Structure 1
């Protein structure tokens, strides 16, 4: 644990394990924000065991007013094509890891402030502390990930940090209907027909979607998940097995789709602080309608568990728009490097 005084009142403290922080203190800020609970971060440490966490806490006098969570990531699933370039990049980052500020496993910023916090001062102090940590740990690049455009424009950023836009933002939907049936009734005529058609076709094919409190058939499921990643030329997520094996640590539901004894689809719905995120999608290549059967069941789950919003990630934007999802606006990255040569590369790319 490291401490430093930044101003007369603002004091930063860095912790390296979530258990070094008292749960009640952590939950004082971000208590109503998606995937910001103490338990979520505890889960993430068990899942992302190869990523060293850094929790930078900001105090005004003795009051916690902000926090930023960073990970030293040697195995980031990078969206780099062609594959041989991706392999080269992965070898480099295993030697000089990325230092990333994010909410783990959720596609959200890891920079969380109380309403009383001075955002400019907090950005200046935390970004300076993060650069020092990145330099100490021989990181190649430092990223503040999933940043809203508004935040990129604040003057508190150190000059080294450059803004970059990510091409494929995530999607979310705020749930306003009292239940799933009301939500379906509120959709347009075409969307209601689509829902009924999916239900009918799934029944005709014998697709049965089931809910589980723990992950089942891991090897079969992982094979289907890798098929989806390969179809979209995505890098395999290295933490998927651990994500499923530690499901008992968080609120979540494992969904499977079967035709008789054959597993033809799967997905994980995780919930925290009134939000749900869908992940670990697996699909058989030769069976239609499974994706939507799983999606509709996951939305039913969200309503039953009183979720305020659902997040689905990127892609399939037209389909999601018709279902009521909106494109997120946190598709910016603030990038810097402790290495002067790599910093020049960032400056040219920005």
Structure 2
């Protein structure tokens, strides 16, 4: 086996193999070479990038993107407990307290793990892989290595012997949309949730709003960017900052069509969801809100109309992603568990960290 580490995906000699593997996995186009080249350009000033490829003879058997980010809040990766809250309030006094430099296995724009493995000798492959991760961690002087959200823990059995440990991460929110109409969807909810949704919709309609569906580049990019920036600034979870480069990339490079579901007030967008279709699901990738809008419950209204769009277009579910769980459960969402794999560069701290989970 041989290993290759490259800073730019365009330098990969086996791009066709890489893409053949990635398109066969769910969400695979999010680590296609076109995707990776685009985010390298869009986020060149925000992150440091690398890509690992392992070959058995001439066959590509493992591939994954890596990015390094500075000043990551430790409490984001900790469970919501006393320690988490203590760190949060202490940082109000010392803004630099426990801000880490992190080497992520994955990409800035994907919430799930971005790695593919195809080998009959996984232990030998992962031994080579983890040795290279340790070298890169030292080269970047990174405090933590984090494998982004896993849907299952199949990789953990190969990685925990090299010092990685698995912890619960931010769950994904999923809404079942396999209904013949929006009314049937509402009727599937319990009476309290149904009354809650109908009440919010009624109050918003009394103020007045319109729904606009746009595709690809048929939109006012600069105005929508402001909405997404608003949501980033308001959110506690600040792993990656949305920038105008992201939108340029989405429109020009992503190998699938983007659907923009917008809420209009006086013909002007005041809320937007950036979505795409993955198999039979609508992935709600990013949300942008004008919090000064006079439309009440605008965050909820945007989600309700996105659900309506999914049902009208015969999609089976919506992937809402992490955060705002109580609000999303009120809309009928269920939670899908995900996990992080973590390794701290300090061996003593690495032994202590699992105690807090």
1:206 to 208, 226, 229: 208
Segments of structure 2 that go 5 or more residues without pairing to the other structure are 77-86
From the superposition, tell whether residues 66 and 235 of structure 1 become closer, same or farther in structure 2 (CA, over 3 Å): closer
Distance across 1 between alignment mates of 2:129 and 2:341:
16
Partner in structure 1 of residue 8 of structure 2: 17
Check the 8 A contact 1:265/1:283 in 2, yes or no: yes
For the pair 1:65 / 2:66, whether they are aligned, the reply is no
Runs of 4+ in 1 over 6 A off after TM superposition: none
Name the counterpart of 2:103. Answer: 99
The correspondence of residues 1-350 of structure 1 with structure 2, limited to 5 A, is 10-21=1-12, 22-37=14-29, 38=32, 39-49=34-44, 50-74=46-70, 76=72, 79=76, 81-82=88-89, 83-84=91-92, 87-88=95-96, 93=100, 97-114=101-118, 116-148=119-151, 150-151=153-154, 153-166=156-169, 168-173=170-175, 176=178, 181=182, 184=185, 187-188=188-189, 190=191, 197-212=199-214, 213-214=216-217, 216=220, 218=222, 221-222=225-226, 224-229=227-232, 231-235=234-238, 237-248=240-251, 249-250=253-254, 251-271=257-277, 276-285=283-292, 287-302=295-310, 310-321=318-329, 323=331, 325-337=333-345, 342-350=346-354
Deviation at 1:109?
Answer: 0.9
What residue is the counterpart of 2:79 in the other structure?
none
Q: Please state whether the residue corresponding to 2:273 is helix, strand or coil.
A: strand
Once the 2 structures are TM-superposed, how far is the Cα of residue 31 of structure 1 from its aligned partner? Answer: 2.2
Cα deviation for residue 72 of structure 1 reads: 1.7
Q: CA deviation at 1:189?
A: 5.8
Shift of 1:71: 0.7
8 Å contact 1:152–1:163 — kept in the other structure?
no
SS at match of 2:130: helix
Partner-residue secondary structure (3-state), 1:108 = coil
Structure 1, 16-25 or 227-236: larger mean CA deviation: 227-236
**Deviation of 1:302 (Å):** 4.5
Moved more, 271-280 or 62-71: 271-280
Sort the Cα spacing of 1:132 and 1:280 in 2 relative to 1 into closer, same or farther, 3 A.
same
CA deviation after TM superposition for structure 1 residue 181, in Å: 4.5
Q: Deviations over 1:175-201 (max 9, x none)?
A: 655x66587277336456655555544
Cα 1:234/1:261, change in 2 over 3 Å:
same
Distance 1:132 1:36 in 2: 27
Is the Cα–Cα contact under 8 Å of residues 7 and 50 in structure 2 kept in the other structure? Answer: yes
| Cα distance in 2 between the residues matched to 1:306 and 1:41 | 31
Q: Quick one: distance in 2 between partners of 1:307 and 1:27?
A: 26
- Cα pair distance change 1:125/1:324, threshold 3 Å: farther
Query: Structure 1's 77 and 25: CA in aligned 2 closer, same or farther, altered over 3 A?
Result: farther
Residue number in structure 2 paired with 1:3 = none
Q: Distance in 2 between matches of 1:211 and 1:182?
A: 21
CA distance in 1, matches of 2:147, 2:140: 17
| Structure 1 residue 148: Cα displacement | 4.7
* Aligned residues of 2:52 and 2:64 also touching (Cα < 8 A): yes
User: What is the CA-CA distance between 1:205 and the residue it aligns to?
Assistant: 1.5
Superposition CA RMSD, Å: 3.5
Q: Does the 8 A contact of 1:221 with 1:266 survive in 2?
A: no
**Alignment CA distance shift 1:300-1:19 (3 Å):** farther
User: Could you tell me the TM-score, scaled by structure 2's length?
Assistant: 0.75
Query: In structure 2, what is the Cα distance between the partners aligned to 1:29 and 1:202?
Result: 46
Question: What SS does the aligned partner of 2:28 have?
Answer: coil
Q: How many residues align?
A: 329
Q: What CA distance in whole angstroms lies between the structure 2 residues aligned with 1:308 and 1:152?
A: 28
TM-score of the superposition, structure 1-length normalised?
0.77
- Give how far 1:169 is off: 2.1
